Amino acid sequence: MLSLLVASLALLSSVQATPGAIRASVSQVAAAWYAGWHATEGFPLSAVSWDKYNTMYYSFAIFLSSSDASLLPQFVSDAHANGVQAHISIGGWTGSIYFSSNVATADNRTAFVKAVVNLVNQYDLDGVNFDWEFPNNQGIGCNIISSNDTANYLSFLQELREDPTGANITLSAAVSTSPFHDSNGNPSTNVSGFADVFDYIAIMNYDVWGSWSSAVGPNAPLNDSCAAPSDQQGSAVSAVMAWSKAGMPVDQIVLGVPSYGHSYSVNSSDAFVPGTQMLAAYPAFNKSNQPPGDAWGDTGSVDVCGNYEGPGGTYDFWGLVDGGFLTTQGTAAPGIYYRFDMCSQTPYVYNETSGVMVSYDDAASFTAKGMYIKNTGLRGYAMWEAGGDYDNILIDAINSAV
Ligand SMILES: *[C@@H]1O[C@H](CO)[C@@H](O)[C@H](O)[C@H]1NC(C)=O
Ligand SMILES: *[C@@H]1O[C@H](CO)[C@@H](O)[C@H](O)[C@H]1NC(C)=O
Ligand SMILES: *[C@@H]1O[C@H](CO)[C@@H](O)[C@H](O)[C@H]1NC(C)=O
Ligand SMILES: *[C@@H]1O[C@H](CO)[C@@H](O)[C@H](O)[C@H]1NC(C)=O
Ligand SMILES: *[C@@H]1O[C@H](CO)[C@@H](O)[C@H](O)[C@H]1NC(C)=O
Ligand SMILES: *[C@@H]1O[C@H](CO)[C@@H](O)[C@H](O)[C@H]1NC(C)=O
Ligand SMILES: *[C@@H]1O[C@H](CO)[C@@H](O)[C@H](O)[C@H]1NC(C)=O
Ligand SMILES: *[C@@H]1O[C@H](CO)[C@@H](O)[C@H](O)[C@H]1NC(C)=O
């Protein structure tokens, strides 16, 4: 990743920083990730509802191909013109292969600090969002990992904070629902060192259930302590508890929220509570028949590890409207079955004809998450991704609740 960062810097060495950075960390985060690769797929910068946010993360530094990178100066100037902080997100699910090496030695950490500082200064960024998936815990399948990852990550961040630029910007991280793995591969019991260097963490409380699961379950459960023990696979409530117990103050925790859901192929005998037209909870699904999802869904391709991955089957919120599941008001369309699960506070829709069931988030579930953020005293929310919403239905719901 380091070499890619350096390469992308060289590519854009003529870009000059402009004044206007708003670098002080915001007290209530209203953020989203902007996926650069969707700029040419219907979500250009001009489509961003800047007035709904105070922070936007450009994703991902690893993917700064020439077209993506050429968008970054415009991203920063549009954000600043709208009073929004412009951050860069580094890594991601497919971009975490070399994090471990980049922080493995003192020399590598220093080089990585320099690359990050150069990126910030060159593009006049207000913050950096590290998206290492995951320290000492395999993500996509071919990431380099080491038992020293979490300790080295902290040393790197401490060195970044010693740099005058690094001291002056907002540092955050996208993190999993359990604390960074320690050298034994267990969730760390003391992350207070990270609380000293990060302004905040954003818990990626999504993809909790998906095509890899044993049944159809909630993509982004608010709660799971009210679910049957076998259905307790993670939630905002349990993740916030785990991180805060390990020493991350709640006012340094931002809740990651999804503007998409996961689809499953479910036949009608499994979909309904027998003898009723009510959707059943946690039904079985046909793993050999993954629905393709919406137009942004991956149709199946070879990943960065060289392995073939089948269709992802994700539906953005707009994709559910496009696909006939939801009305333009974001409610279930006529002929579509709907269930709102009280424990996870998330909805499901089902088209009996196509046999496609989707677990997703709607205005009601975003309102519930917003109220939880407010009542628990969390730092705010960060939505993956800005372009997934339809007519600002989700973002308006969570903004109203927070
Ligand atoms: C340090 O970075 C270099 C250059 O990217 C890399 O080749 C090397 O493997 C890294 N060191 C470790 C211990 O990972
Ligand atoms: C972890 O770091 C220690 C020194 O801090 C070193 O002795 C050890 O070899 C490292 N382990 C790995 C797996 O890199
Ligand atoms: C820190 O940020 C402020 C506000 O943008 C800026 O004026 C100042 O030059 C920055 N200092 C450094 C060392 O980057
Ligand atoms: C947790 O880590 C911090 C910083 O590394 C340290 O100062 C503190 O004593 C640790 N707390 C516990 C309970 O071990
Ligand atoms: C989560 O569920 C538990 C157990 O039912 C309940 O006590 C708690 O209030 C719930 N929390 C939220 C935020 O819904
Ligand atoms: C529905 O799917 C289940 C497996 O998920 C299977 O056992 C059952 O036979 C299927 N029923 C029909 C009518 O296809
Ligand atoms: C699952 O889907 C595959 C592919 O469409 C199909 O061949 C198979 O019969 C389905 N299985 C069940 C139990 O319906
Ligand atoms: C359900 O799926 C079928 C088959 O794909 C499609 O023809 C129909 O329009 C869908 N129903 C709704 C309400 O969108």
pLDDT for 3-27, tens place per residue? 334 333 333 333 333 334 445 678 9
Ligand 4 mean position to 244 CA, how many Å? 14
Is the CB of residue 96 less than 8 Å from the CB of residue 139?
A: yes
Q: What distance in angstroms lies between residue 223's CA and the mean position of ligand 5's atoms?
A: 6
Nearest to 104 by CA among 129, 131, 136: 136
Question: What is the average per-residue pLDDT within 25-52?
Answer: 94
If asked whether residues 130 and 278 sit together in one domain, one would say no
8 Å CB contact between 55 and 171: no
* 300-334 pLDDT, tens digit each: 999 999 998 888 999 999 999 999 999 999 999 99
Q: Give the C-alpha separation, 301 to 156, whole Å.
A: 34
Q: Is 25 in the pocket of ligand 5 (CB under 6 A)?
A: no
Are residues 178 and 217 located together in one domain of the fold?
Answer: yes
Region of 292 please: left (phi>0), alpha (psi -120 to 50) or beta.
alpha
Token pair recorded at residue 57: 């993360």
Nearest CA to ligand 4 atom 5: 193
Before 60, cis peptide (omega within 30)? yes
Q: What percent of the chain has pLDDT over 70?
A: 92
| pLDDT score, position 5 | 43
231 lines ligand 6 (CB under 6 A): no
- Specify whether 247 is located in the same domain as 273: no
Q: Which of 155, 145, 148, 133 is nearest to 182 (CA)?
A: 148
Q: 269 CA distance to ligand 2 centroid (A)? A: 54
Same domain, 210 and 334: no
**Ligand 8 contacts CB of residue 327 (under 6 A):** no
CA distance 393 to 230: 33
Residue 402 to residue 390: CA distance in whole angstroms: 19
Average pLDDT over the chain, rounded to an integer? 92
Atom 4 of ligand 4, nearest CA residue: 193
Rounded to whole angstroms, how far apart are CA atoms 174 and 266?
A: 32
Among the bound ligands, name the one nearest to the CA of residue 378. 5
Q: Say yes or no: CB of residue 351 within 6 Å of ligand 8.
A: yes
35 three-class SS:
strand
How many domains does the chain divide into?
2
Tell me: the pLDDT tens digits for 382-395?
A: 999 999 999 999 99
Q: Which two tokens stand for residue 344?
A: 């996870």
* 180 in the same domain as 155: yes
Q: Is residue 21 part of a domain?
A: no
In a domain, 48, yes or no: yes
pLDDT of residue 4: 39
Pocket test for ligand 2, best of 148, 154, 184 (most atoms within 8 A of CB): 148
Q: Tell whether 172 and 301 lie within a shared domain.
A: no
Are 84 and 152 within one domain?
Answer: yes
Give yes or no: residues 178 and 34 share one domain: yes
Question: Do 246 and 273 sit in the same domain of this protein?
Answer: no
**Ligand 7, CB cutoff 6 Å, lining residues:** 267, 286, 288-289
Cα torsion 14, 78, 168, 244: sign: negative
3-state secondary structure of 295: coil
Quote the CA–CA distance of 77 and 83 in Å, as a whole number: 10
The residues facing 341 across adjacent strands are 346
User: Is the model's pLDDT at 110 over the cut of 90?
Assistant: yes
Q: Are 164 and 114 in contact (CB under 8 A)?
A: no
Looking from the CA of residue 283, the nearest atom of ligand 6 is: 5
Residue of higher predicted confidence among 2 and 373: 373
In a domain, 19, yes or no: no
What's the whole-model pTM score?
A: 0.93
Please determine, for residue 283, whether its predicted confidence score (pLDDT) is greater than 90: yes
* Stretch (H or E) spanning 121: helix 106-123
